[in-house]
Amino acid sequence: MSKKDIKTRIDDFIEEKIVTEKLEDIVGDRFGRYSKYIIQDRALPDARDGLKPVQRRILYAMYKMGMGSDKPYKKSARIAGEVMGKYHPHGDSSIYEAMVRMSQYFKMGVTLVDMHGNNGSIDGDSAAAMRYTEARLSKEAEALLADIEKRTVPFIPNFDDEELEPTVLPAKFPNLLVNGAAGISSGYATKIPPHNLKEVIKATIEKIDKPNVSIDKILQIVTGPDFPTGAIVQGKEGIRQALETGAGKVIVRSKTVYEQMAKDQVRIVVEEIPYEVNKAELVRSIDLLRVDKKLEDILEVRDESDREGLRISIELKKGANADMVLNYLFKNTDLQVNYNYNMVAISHQRPVQMGIMEILDSYINHQKEVITNRSNFDLDRAEKRLHIVSGLIKMVDIVEEVIKTIRGSKNKSNSKDNLIKQFGFTDLQAEAIVTLQLYRLSSTDIDQLIKESNELDERILWLKDVLSDEQKLLSVIKKELREVSNKLGTDRKTLIEDEIEAIKIEKADLIADEQVRVGITKDGYIKRANLRSYTASKQPGLKENDGMLFNQEVSTKDTLLMFTTKGNYIFMPVYELEESKWKDLGAYINNIISIEKDEYIIKVFSISDFETNQYFLLTTEHGLIKQVLLKDFLVTRYSKTIRAMKVASSDELTSVELGPKSSVIVFTKRAQVLRFPSAEVPIYGTQSGGIKSLKIAANDKVVKAIYAATSDDFLVLTHLGNIRRERVVNMPLNKRLRTPITLFSERKKNPHFIRDVARLTTQQDKEDSMILVSCKKGSLEFPISELKPSVAEYGRAYVNEEEFGKALFINVDAPIENVEEQDILDAGELIQEVRAKKETKRKEPIDHASVEAPKDELVEDKKIHIKKLSLFDEDDWKE
């Protein structure tokens, strides 16, 4: 053979055998066929009987094997083999898994398979191998299969054309709604929850009686899903939307109770959990919250489920807020889940998203076909039987001749021919006569034949009425539905609640109230340590030349307010700070909340309660001052700095003081001091600026403004490290913007400048609180009792400048006691001062240190206007 001939033959072969097509056409065609198969014949249920093909084949195979609910169990392996060999040419594992699911009470609204042995558990345990378990049909499955032998549903050949299988089951109840369905195919998915059988049947009957019934009426009957695991469903609007359109969302919440363990200790007991939630995984996730210390109020979690029912015990610590813990568990575990309806089913060979109305219509139309087909089948049989009975009755009248004819015949066939020829019997009647047993010729059997004939006449008439009158047909459907409801119906397990309860959890509520040590340095390093770590190493870990600005024992439920030079503040709950060792450096402020490069923390406060009668006094270097209510600083979002006071770019916030309202003392760098009533300082919000507090020299600036009651002292820190303790009463009470007094003179060589001032109350003095002095190169701490008395103008030196550098801040480690507003003391003191002026006829200056306000003359400043009092002259006030 020549090369040319070989090439020609190859070309002919290619042209004959190889098809040239675009890849997208080939893939599209093949995938289209595959998609059609898995949509119609695998993953989605039929709207009429609510079954997927594999489920239908399992039930039909068991029915054909005679495995009724009153028959003995058979091995599951035998059933799976029968289904696989005759109807379902797929793996036995998929068949067995489908059979197991139909037997699980916690997955199905009503179980369709009655299984002996380990068929899995709500903890996610898999069933035993099919060789170990046994099964048979349940009563509910028998209701789905009833009358299937009466040609009620169409049959098609199986995969090898050797058997016939039903395309749908007769289904004596709306199984799609009762058992629900879940599946996913190509481009479609379905998720239908189980519903209560009694409610669904009642709604079906209502739809039969009133085809145009409203969705509201149906919702009064079918109130919502009825999960086999019970629990609580919230969201009536979601149920309405789902049953109306086929898509919607509800909340499924566990059913829980509280049990008292001790006087101040309870346990949460979970009695029912949401549908399809794995109980073992749920218990593990709850316990993990305890282990990870995300929910520290949980003492122990135990699964106490037994044959009596499900029970999960969550024991709480003493004093724990059970409602808060439960809400947290609802929000963060599967104790509460969302359930999203997607009611897709096969209707007329197409996947359709259907509401309850469409599903009920589909089922009712299916039942009309089933009852019609059954009635035709029964009518045909009844007419045949009546024909036979009529022949037998006729035969009784001529029994002697009939017997004689039969005896004279050669065989059965000849007997039939002779009977037909001589007496006019039909072939069917002749067959019945020749096969009749002689004992049936007794008088009793003749009476029974006459009775049977009458009954058959009535039945035929009734069947014809059913077939000709739709109302009678519908009445048959309703009657049979009621029978199924009475026989198989159960009470509702799931509780329906109209509204979805919103869960609001404050993170602070989850935090145990624990005392910790918090340290904040002047360079912006923050750390939180437990008291054990603090006791083990009281010296904090610091960077070189850094020092403590704040060092206090606080509660984890307290809030830190950190004020910066730019007029901003940082809102930081203590529990938000990561715990570290006291000797560690801590976290840098910019890693927590971003601040500007030239912005520094100047003051830190620990706040336990924002609703107390306290105020912040804020002052800038240029002398602008204002008061702000403490509660105005409470915020819910704190991911960045928040404005505390509007400060000009050329100015800086230099002083922040917290306390009950008293008189205000303002200090400048060059020791100028002015004391005046706090009533003269307006109360503004956090977004505004302030007003002028006093007249400042060009080369001076305000360094501090404090609240001070008459009984208080104050500590003045100079930049050279001296501390001077002074009584508040030694500072004359004046008016805002008046000329200040000089606290100490400014010497030409190595002068002292005021760097900071701290208020010292009688309570702090009595408790011997700690004084914290922050410097350029570190900090030092000592008790108030070490403040030795000094009459020196600049006080006593406490800071070694060579070791610590210039002094920066002074702080007293104790909160100001929460007392009532103390401006009244200042008003009383001012009254006494004016009285003293009158007594001395204005000849001698008033000694403020010696004047105290009498308690019986104290009046609230907001109800008094001092300049209008008659006990001193207007001119005295103006001076």
**Stretch 113-137: mean pLDDT, rounded?**
96
Residue 803: exposure state from Cβ atoms within 10 A (0-12, 13-18, ≥19): exposed
pLDDT higher than 70, residue 421: yes
Minimum mean pLDDT range among 8-12, 252-256, 312-316, 700-704: 8-12
Taking Cα atoms as reference points, which of 651, 682, 687, 650 lies closest to residue 664? 682
Amino acid identity, residue 780? Answer: L
| Helical residues (DSSP H) of 398-545, grouped into ranges | 399-407, 412-423, 427-434, 443-468, 470-488, 531-536
Q: Which two tokens stand for residue 125?
A: 């345990």
Looking at residues 225-244, what average pLDDT do you find? 95
DSSP H helical segments within 180-235, as ranges? 197-209, 215-221
The pLDDT value recorded for residue 836 is 44
10 or 384, which is more confident? 384
Q: Do residues 291 and 425 both lie within one domain?
A: no
Residue at 344 is within a domain:
no
Other CB atoms within 10 A of residue 481 CB: 22
Look at residue 443 in the predicted model and tell me its pLDDT: 63
Is the same domain home to 583 and 651? yes
Which of 12-26, 161-175, 665-679, 704-718 is predicted least confidently? 12-26
Q: Residue 864 pLDDT > 90, yes or no?
A: no
Is the predicted pLDDT of residue 854 greater than 80, yes or no? Answer: no
Q: What is the CATH number of the domain that holds 443?
A: 1.10.268.10
pLDDT at 632 over 50: yes
With respect to residue 529, please indicate whether it lies within any of the assigned structural domains: yes
Query: Does residue 109 contact residue 102 with C-beta atoms inside 8 Å?
Result: no
C-alpha 709/C-alpha 660 separation (Å) is 9
Lowest mean pLDDT among 279-288, 297-306, 496-505: 496-505
Joined together, the tokens standing for residue 858 give 């104290």
In a domain, 839, yes or no: yes
Range of the domain at 547: 513-813
Q: What is the mean pLDDT of residues 834-861?
A: 38
**pLDDT tens across 295-307, in order?**
888 999 999 999 8
Q: What is the pLDDT of residue 217?
A: 95
Picking from 123, 148, 171, the residue at the C-terminal end of a domain is: 171
Name which of 427-441, 504-518, 678-692, 721-735 the model is least confident about. Answer: 504-518
pLDDT of residue 71: 95
Looking at residues 733-744, what average pLDDT do you find?
Answer: 91
566 falls within a domain = yes
Residue 71 CA to residue 149 CA, distance in Å, equals 19
Checking if the pLDDT of 191 tops 90, the result is: yes
pLDDT above 90 (res 387): yes
pLDDT range class, residue 267, cuts 50, 70, 90: very high
Domain count along the chain:
6
Position 839 scores a pLDDT of 46
DSSP 225-238: ---TT--EEE-HHH
pLDDT for position 842:
41
The band of 863, judged by pLDDT with boundaries at 50, 70 and 90, is very low
766 & 661 share domain: yes
Closest CA to 806 of 717, 869, 711, 675: 717
User: What is the average pLDDT value for the chain, to the nearest integer?
Assistant: 87
What pLDDT, on a 0 to 100 scale, did the predictor assign at position 878? 33
Q: Under the phi-then-psi rule, with left for phi > 0, alpha for psi from -120 to 50, and beta for the rest, what region is 813?
A: beta
Within 13 Å, how many C-alpha atoms sit on residue 241's CB side?
A: 11
Q: Are residues 785 and 854 in the same domain?
A: no
What is the model's pLDDT at position 546?
A: 85
- Do residues 272 and 368 touch, judged by C-beta distance below 8 A? no
52 lies in a domain?
yes
Indicate if 294 and 414 belong to the same structural domain: no
- Alpha-carbon torsion (726, 727, 731, 735), positive or negative: positive
Whether pLDDT at 400 is above 90: no
557 and 696, same domain (yes or no): yes
pLDDT for 364: 97
- Same structural domain, 540 and 464: no
Q: What is the pLDDT of residue 268?
A: 96
Residues 517 and 606 in one domain: yes
Where residue 288 sits, what CATH number does that domain have? Answer: 3.30.1360.40
* pLDDT at residue number 382: 95
Do residue 158 and residue 105 come from a single domain? yes
Q: Which of 171, 194, 214 is the last residue of a domain?
A: 171
Catalytic residue among 34, 132, 258, 588: 132
Q: 304 and 163, same structural domain? A: no
Of 761, 783, 813, the domain-final residue: 813
What six digits make up the tokens of 648? Answer: 């000009």
406 in a structural domain: yes
Task: Determine what percent of the chain is predicted with pLDDT higher than 70.
Answer: 92
- pLDDT over 90 at 874, yes or no: no
* pLDDT tens-digit series, residues 550-568: 989 999 889 999 999 999 9
DSSP label at residue 553: E
Which pLDDT band, with edges at 50, 70 and 90, does 508 fall under?
low
Task: Tell me whether strands 164-166 and 548-555 are parallel, antiparallel or unpaired.
Answer: unpaired
pLDDT at residue 858 is higher than 50: no
Domain of 117, CATH number, reads 3.90.199.10
584 and 524 Cβ atoms separated by less than 8 Å: no
Residues 681, 682, 685, 691: what is their CA dihedral angle, to the nearest 10 degrees?
-70
pLDDT given at position 359: 96
132 as an active site residue: the answer is yes
Residue 453 is predicted with a pLDDT of 92
pLDDT tops 50 at residue 707 = yes
* Residue 501: CA count within 13 A, CB half-sphere: 14
Is residue 872's pLDDT more than 50?
no
In this predicted structure, the answer to whether residue 710 has a pLDDT above a threshold of 70 is yes
How sure is the predictor about 1, in pLDDT bands with cuts at 50, 70 and 90?
low
**Has residue 165 been placed in a domain?**
yes
> Cα(730)–Cα(758) distance, rounded to whole angstroms?
16
Cβ-based neighbours of 479, under 8 Å, separated by 6 or more: none
| pLDDT higher than threshold 80 for residue 350 | yes
Quick one: pLDDT band at residue 315, thresholds 50, 70, 90? very high
Residue % of the chain over a pLDDT of 90: 59
Q: What is the pLDDT, as a whole number, of residue 444? A: 60
Q: Note the pLDDT tens digit of each residue in 34-60.
A: 888 888 888 999 999 999 999 999 999
Note whether 751 and 828 are same-domain residues.
Answer: no
Query: Mind listing the pLDDT tens digit for each residue in 584-611?
Result: 889 999 999 999 988 999 999 999 999 8
**Residue 200, Cβ density class (10 Å: 0-12 exposed, 13-18 middle, ≥19 buried):** buried
**Are residue 829 and residue 779 in the same domain, yes or no?**
no
128 secondary structure, DSSP code: P
Residue 693 lies in a domain: yes
Q: Of 599, 736, 593, 723, nearest to 663 (Cα)?
A: 736
Task: Name 588's bridge partners.
Answer: 525
pLDDT of residue 779: 81
